[in-house]
Chains A and B, each alone.
Chain A
Amino acid sequence: MATEFASDAAKQPKLWWWGAVAAAAVILGIVPTMTDISLQLDLSILFVFMLLAMSMGFLWGYAGILSFGQTIFFGLGGYAYTILAMNMGTTGLPFLMAVLLPVVFAAVLGYFMIYGQISDIYLSVITLVVTLIFEKSMRSTSGPEYVIGTVRLNGQNGIPGVPGLVLPWIGDAPLSIAGVFYLSGGLVLCVYVGLRMILTTRFGRVIVGIRENERRMELLGYDARWYKLLAFMLAALIASLSGVLYAIWGNFVAPEMFNLNQAAQVVIWVIVGGRSTLIGPVVGTGVIQYLSNWLGTVGVGQVTVVLGAILMIFVLVFPRGLLPTLGAAIAALWSAKDRKGRGK
């Protein structure tokens, strides 16, 4: 198990990594000029989901906390933005508040789970149960008494007409489709780079140490509970960012944001992509979402069954996920070629 994770996450990334990030930024910049609106919409929602996947992948892969319920913060972020923006008539402040409010909830939930020293498996179960409780509660808010300010929660019908984000330095109009594309794509890049940088800081290195051996870190004098809580809150921040963007992208929020289907999808993205790298969950999201769209268009009725089968294959055959497995295969090929080269 010693080599399951990259052991050099603490080091500053190499030059090629920065090159790749710059290339991704350039590609992100020119895509809207070369594509139609429908592709921009498809890619934007992919970016939104990539953020959600990164939130879980970071927490599971680097802090060793398996949360089945990152959708708690995804849904809370979406609903918070909707309710605040529709009540306040502006969008900038609601955007910030909606990203931060779920983090406060994460602090409370995380405090009870982590300082209560429940076992890892219970933490997974509790997060899943909490997201399902949110789904149930939101579904049962269809009556006229469920109003926050001027906004009716509408139960399982969800809330339509979520205002688009207005960025004051761009103009008075809400972000265009290309604007949402830039925002969500840019945030995927920023969060990715940000998390990579955090892993080189003392905080990042300490949480990796806790993942490796919590008791040893405690015996060294670190309060593991505090660091785990911070990691949990950071992951919640990314998930709520994803939820807010989801609401802006679709101008709509609904209890489905919290449901089992959504929660399970996050797990599938991360497992398929691999949790031992930050980019794994991003790639996993891309592959799985492309696959389910494609399966839908070619008329395979049972998309869920096919996705379930893919998950099973990955869990049993490639437990480390797509990217680490590919990486190991390339490394093996490379060294085989090397040996052959030397043999001549």
Chain B
Amino acid sequence: MTGLAVMLQTTQLEKRFGGVRAVAGVDFTLREGELRCLIGPNGAGKSTFFRLLTGQMKPTAGALMICGQDVTRARANEIAALGVGIKNQIPDVMNGLSVSENLWLAASQRFRGAQARRAVEKVAERLFLTGILNRLVGELAHGQRQWVEIAMVIVGEPKIVLLDEPAAGMSDEETARTAELIREINKDTTIIVVEHDMPFIRQIAQTVTVFHQGRILLEGLFDAVVADPTVREVYLGRAGV
């Protein structure tokens, strides 16, 4: 693993809210081709960490490098423009526009003209959205909206994809399809998934980073992490996995 290029790296990244250190000096490295799950109990700081990585929040201290560039103070759009696909937990789409317009807007950040149209067709086919391209996104079911958003995230062929709880609110069947999709995207893209749903993580995870009280508690392969007594104590034991 160590031979591969570093895609994303944080050095002593910190975020304070008043006296609380939600993210307390995190050193984190993500290499090309990885599919990394960030897990941890509620309040562990993983969502704050996600917001720091995506430029939706500015760190109080530390540094963030993405694709070799220092983006510690960068805005979300600057980070996205580096080739980072971002999806927040709640479906965040243009409800008043059609599926195809949503996908086109996502694609044309990266591509122009016919190339953008082709990218839309390709991603719609890949995610089985071709039949609903002309529907308004606001009229779709929750699960479909999530997939439209995932399609928006990958249509620009990002180098890194950052997903915050992609399976939140989905049925079991939808969750399984989403897991399959994430594994497939991982074939050519580096991915970080923030998640707390253990069965879902089991379906996708290779390497897992466990957050606890704003710090990284442990990093390793899923099975090893699940078996770790400290992890079981702070998190998994209570979750009953």
> Which residues of A are interface residues toward B (Cβ below 8 A)?
1-5, 7-8, 10, 202, 205-206, 208-209, 212-213, 215-224
Contact = CB atoms under 8 A, between A and B. Distances in A.
B42 interface: no
B105 interface: yes
Given A2-B96, A5-B96, A219 B86 contact: yes
B76 A2 contact: no
Given A7-B98, A7-B101, A221-B77, A216 B93 contact: yes
Given A218-B77, A221-B80, A3 B105 contact: no
Contacts, number: 83
Interface of B: 54, 56, 75-78, 80-81, 86-88, 92-98, 101, 104-106, 108-110, 112, 136, 138-139, 152, 156
Contacts of A222: 77, 109
B94 A212 contact: yes
Contacts of A5: 96
Contacts of B138: 1-2
Nearest to B86: A219
A213 B93 contact: yes
Contacts of A220: 77, 80, 105-106, 109, 152, 156
A226 to B, nearest CB: 9
Q: Which of A212, A215, A219 has the most CB of B within 10 A?
A: A219
B176 to A, nearest CB: 26
Contact of A209 (B86, B88, B92, B105): B105
Contacts of A218: 75-77, 80
Q: Which of A8, A212, A216, A217 has the most CB of B within 10 A?
A: A216
Contact of B76 (A1, A7, A212, A219): A219
Contact of B139 (A2, A4, A219, A224): A2
B77 A224 contact: yes
Q: Which of A205, A206, A220 has the most CB of B within 10 A?
A: A220
A212 B96 contact: yes
A216 B96 CA distance: 13
B109 A221 contact: yes
13 contacts: A1-B95, A1-B138, A5-B96, A7-B98, A10-B104, A209-B105, A215-B76, A216-B92, A219-B56, A219-B92, A220-B80, A221-B110, A222-B77
Given A4-B96, A216-B152, 19 more contacts: A2-B138, A2-B139, A8-B98, A10-B97, A206-B108, A209-B97, A212-B95, A212-B97, A215-B92, A217-B77, A218-B80, A219-B76, A219-B92, A220-B80, A220-B105, A220-B109, A221-B77, A222-B77, A223-B77
A227 to B, nearest CB: 11
A205 B95 contact: no
A71 to B, nearest CB: 29
Nearest to A205: B105
A177 B109 CA distance: 48
Contact of B92 (A10, A208, A213): A213
A208 B97 contact: yes
A144 B93 CA distance: 58
Given A7-B101, A205-B104, A219 B94 contact: no
B80 A202 contact: no
Contacts of B88: 219
Which 4 A-B residue pairs are closest in the complex by CB-CB distance? A2-B138, A221-B80, A212-B94, A221-B81
B34 to A, nearest CB: 21
A219 B97 contact: no
Contacts of B93: 213, 216
A2 B102 CA distance: 14
A98 to B, nearest CB: 35
B98 A219 contact: no
Contacts of B92: 213, 215-216, 219
B237 to A, nearest CB: 35
B39 to A, nearest CB: 23
A219 B77 contact: yes
Nearest to A213: B94
A10 B80 contact: no
A93 B76 CA distance: 43
Q: Which of B78, B87, B105, B156 has the most CB of A within 10 A?
A: B105
A141 to B, nearest CB: 42
B105 A2 contact: no
B80 A219 contact: yes
Contacts of B96: 1-5, 7, 212
Contact of A2 (B75, B78, B95): B95
B97 A3 contact: no
B136 A2 contact: yes
A104 B214 CA distance: 48
A215 B56 CA distance: 9
